[in-house]
Chains A and B, each alone.
Chain A
Amino acid sequence: MGKIWIIIQREFIMGVRNRTFIIMSLAAPLFFVGIILVPMFIASQPGSQKTVVVCDNSGCPDTVGYAYVFKDTMNIKFDYHMVYKPIGEVKKMYRDSDNYFVLYIPENFMGGCDTVNEHSVALSCILYSKGEPGFNLINHLQSVLTTEVQQDILGSNGISREVMELSRRKVSVTSEVKGQMSDTEIKFLAGLIFGMAVYIYILMFGVRVMKSVQEEKATRIVEVIVSSVRPFQLMIGKIIAVALVALTQFTVWIILSMLIVVPILNTIDDARLDHMKLQNANAGTAVAVTGSNGGALQDIALNENIQETMEKLMSVPWGNLIPAFVFFFIFGYLMYASIFAALGSAADTESDTAQFSVPVTIPLIISMASFAVIVNDPDGTIAKWLSMIPFTSPIVMLMRIPFGGVHITELLLSMGILMVSFFFMTWLAGRIYRVGILMYGKKVSWRELGKWLFYKG
């Protein structure tokens, strides 16, 4: 045990001192956090204030037209002081102003006053400006106008606003399994995340074990080492050390992500809060009274929402999932890592490893590929079999558990099979490994590997 410990120390230190490790540890969280947060952050920023000067020529002298349907938003201010002026005059006035946009609603928008007869005229407005208006601004204008036009058309055909609001209501199907609120989406996500984590972990670090073994063989240091320790000790020490390196990396990722995410989330929240305050201030004192009521109502709605989410979350059997995750994670990795170590020992050069590693990764890929089948029928025949076979069970079982249909005996059986397979595969791998690391210049086939199993110590 003492020597395994020395080996673990070395492998671990070399692993975490490695440049790739350091870069991966630092860059990966930045990258992922960046992908998720940067757009959120940017979207939440007030950005440059844009002012849209509305010029509505659509209203006939006796109607209001569409001018006043726009309300100020965080980034867009609407200016009505020239609303009924001729467009030529307005354009001239703002020709050279940055950040000013002139929205022109033409006379024949909605067919002018003859709303019934001239529908063939295109419903289109024009936005004049010096600079690019940007996607969001155009989008906003379009959606506000579309809604208004729809309401007008429906209203002019005798349908009231209330009826319209009612017609927009959404229907949702919630499911209740054994008297418990259930949410398939969350289960789906939990299955995907946990399955994926094991998949990535095994593949990434299994291959790392293989490369490390291969490198030891290629540099011939291995002969010196095995004159001091048993080959099996070296193999196990390496596998454990790589696992620890992986865990360290995950820990660094989690901590770094926290350090990055929390401040950014705070900024986003602040921005939202500011915006809300602004709105309240704009609304004036009269609204403030109802506003506070509205706030309370909102709070209640929020609480209900949280409660519902919690209930949905609790529909995932975490009590089974977390321990199972830890178990399958560890033993799945250990089993695959020992196979990868054996393959690394058989290869003379790095390119030789590819030939062997492909067949070994197939069960892993099958596990991930069968995700669609499993989430559709988490207790079906395919799902059950794949969650028993030790090469696929570490991933597939974790996809199944969130759906709650896995009986505890089934889970224990699968764990037992994996455990036994782990011992068996490690023993097998050890036998190949001890021959492989000292075998040079031989083109190794699967048959040859089989023969090595029976070599005497």
Chain B
Amino acid sequence: MGILLSAQHVSKKYSNHLALDDVSIDVPEGCIYGLLGPNGAGKTTLIRIINQITGPDTGKVLFENRLLDAEHVQQIGYLPEERGLYRKMEVGEQAIYLARLKGLSKKEAKKRVQEWFERFEMQGWWKKKVEELSKGMQQKVQFIVTVLHQPRLLILDEPFSGFDPINAAIIKDEILNLKKQGSTIILSTHNMGSVEELCDNIALINRSKKILDGNVKEIRRAYASRTYDVIFKGSMIAFTNSMWTGGELISQSTDAEGMNHVRIKLLGNSTPNMLLEAVMRSSEIHGLNEVLPTMNDIFIMKVQEGNGESVLGTRSNYTE
């Protein structure tokens, strides 16, 4: 899989603060790329640079190994975090207008808008003014407008905010659908659940620097703390007695069916096999799962680390 978009050593300074400091990211073609970071970290600035709304002070952005230029506008679709449409304009003609600005012909734009309107069952909205629509309906229109010109790169800034769970699920399906069709998607979000669910790769930006990037699975694996969940039937006391020095019991509970759940962190060079061997004699094992850290955990940990706070610090100030 080739790299579709590559930002290389991008820095951007506003009069009194550094918005981006030597940030590089590589977005492979056909993946969903999560752009994570606290508010004010510099994500929007990076997105605006990719959209050519503003330019970098130093560094460069390549689209398929070519420097970004005006031609690329047609290949990028952008859904900003702060949504907006012309309130007094009719939905249909507005969608066509925005598609034409992206380079579609009037005829083609009209055809595609109709297709999408059918797909989202909103044919009746064509003549409605935006101000007559509910917020959720406006969001749908905005999403359609973003993907209408079939961009190769989609940049979605907090795409789920403002949607109810049903519509959020529809949008999620559409995103996966677009990925299946070959689109590359940059997803900027705070919603870590959706990151784990959707993203293949991520970059974490904090205080204008990139502090982490890579494949989501690999990152979670890398931050795995060798913790396992064991499910067993039998005496909890016998189980704990059979534990040896290679493992540490973190938590334990018993569910309604009498199954015991314990979480064990392996210490030293011990392996899951050694753990099994130790407890098998005393209990009937029903399951063993490795516990990987959630992206949320990694996010908070990395951000706090970056802010010079202890990992154990309860809350970080990540709404600067």
Binding site for B on A (CB under 8 A): 3, 6-7, 10, 14, 18, 216, 219-231, 434, 438, 440, 451, 455-457
**Which chain B positions have C-beta within 8 A of A216?**
86
Interface residues of B in 63-111 (CB under 8 A from A): 70, 73, 76, 78, 80, 82-89, 97-98, 100-102
Say how far B68's CB is from chain A's closest CB, in angstroms: 12
**B242, CB-defined interface residue at 8 Å:** no
Among the interface residues B53, B78, B97, B142, which one has the most CB atoms of the partner chain A within 10 A?
B53
On whether A457 and B55 interact (CB within 8 A), knowing A219-B85, A222-B84, the answer reads yes
Contact partner, B55, options A219, A224, A456, Cβ 8 Å: A456
Interface residues on chain B, number (Cβ under 8 Å) = 29
What are some 20 contacts across the A-B interface (CB < 8 A)?
A: A6-B97, A7-B101, A10-B97, A14-B86, A216-B86, A219-B84, A219-B87, A220-B80, A220-B83, A223-B84, A224-B78, A224-B84, A225-B98, A226-B53, A227-B73, A228-B98, A228-B101, A438-B48, A438-B53, A457-B55
Say how far B95's CB is from chain A's closest CB, in angstroms: 11
Interface residues of B in 123-140 (CB under 8 A from A): none
On whether A6 and B55 interact (CB within 8 A), knowing A438-B48, A455-B15, the answer reads no
Contact partner, A229, options B78, B87, B88, B101, Cβ 8 Å: B101
Say how far A434's CB is from chain B's closest CB, in angstroms: 8
CA distance A227 to B145 in the complex (A): 12
Contact partner, B101, options A3, A222, A451, Cβ 8 Å: A3
Asked if B82 contacts A223 (CB within 8 A), the reply is: yes
Asked if A221 contacts B54 (CB within 8 A), the reply is: no
**Which chain A positions have C-beta within 8 A of B118?**
none
A220-B82, A224-B85, A227-B73 given; 14 more Cβ-contact pairs under 8 Å = A14-B89, A216-B86, A220-B80, A222-B84, A224-B80, A226-B53, A227-B53, A227-B76, A227-B80, A228-B98, A229-B101, A434-B54, A456-B55, A457-B54
**Which chain B positions have C-beta within 8 A of A455?**
14-15
Query: Whose C-beta in chain A lies nearest to the C-beta of B78?
Result: A227
Among the interface residues A14, A219, A221, A228, which one has the most CB atoms of the partner chain B within 10 A?
A228
**Which chain B positions have C-beta within 8 A of A3?**
101
CA distance A455 to B82 in the complex (A): 23
Query: Whose C-beta in chain B lies nearest to the C-beta of A17?
Result: B88
**Which chain B positions have C-beta within 8 A of A6?**
97, 100-101
**Which chain B positions have C-beta within 8 A of A7?**
101
**B51, CB-defined interface residue at 8 Å:** yes
**Which chain B positions have C-beta within 8 A of A18?**
88
**B57, CB-defined interface residue at 8 Å:** yes
Query: Whose C-beta in chain A lies nearest to the C-beta of B50?
Result: A227
**Which chain B positions have C-beta within 8 A of A456?**
55, 57
Query: Whose C-beta in chain A lies nearest to the C-beta of B57?
Result: A456
**Which chain A positions have C-beta within 8 A of B82?**
220, 223, 440
**Which chain B positions have C-beta within 8 A of A226?**
53
CA distance A10 to B90 in the complex (A): 12
Asked if A225 contacts B87 (CB within 8 A), the reply is: no
Say how far B250's CB is from chain A's closest CB, in angstroms: 44
Among the interface residues A226, A227, A456, which one has the most CB atoms of the partner chain B within 10 A?
A227
CA distance A223 to B47 in the complex (A): 11
**Which chain A positions have C-beta within 8 A of B89?**
14
Query: Whose C-beta in chain A lies nearest to the C-beta of B130?
Result: A219
CA distance A440 to B82 in the complex (A): 11
Among the interface residues B57, B89, B100, which one has the most CB atoms of the partner chain A within 10 A?
B100
Query: Whose C-beta in chain B lies nearest to the C-beta of A226?
Result: B53
Say how far B314's CB is from chain A's closest CB, in angstroms: 29
Query: Whose C-beta in chain B lies nearest to the C-beta of A225?
Result: B101
Say how far B53's CB is from chain A's closest CB, in angstroms: 5
On whether A223 and B53 interact (CB within 8 A), knowing A14-B88, A455-B14, the answer reads yes
CA distance A225 to B51 in the complex (A): 11
CA distance A451 to B86 in the complex (A): 30
**Which chain B positions have C-beta within 8 A of A434?**
54
The 10 lowest CB-CB distance pairs between A and B, nearest first, are A220-B84, A228-B101, A221-B84, A227-B51, A227-B78, A223-B80, A457-B55, A220-B82, A219-B84, A226-B53
Among the interface residues A3, A223, A230, which one has the most CB atoms of the partner chain B within 10 A?
A223
0 or 1 for each of B19-61: is its CB under 8 Å from A? (1 = yes): 0000000000000000000000000000010011111010000
CA distance A3 to B71 in the complex (A): 12
CA distance A14 to B86 in the complex (A): 10
CA distance A230 to B55 in the complex (A): 12
On whether A221 and B14 interact (CB within 8 A), knowing A228-B73, A438-B48, the answer reads no
Query: Whose C-beta in chain A lies nearest to the C-beta of B86?
Result: A221
**Which chain B positions have C-beta within 8 A of A231?**
53
Say how far A26's CB is from chain B's closest CB, in angstroms: 20
Query: Whose C-beta in chain B lies nearest to the C-beta of A228?
Result: B101
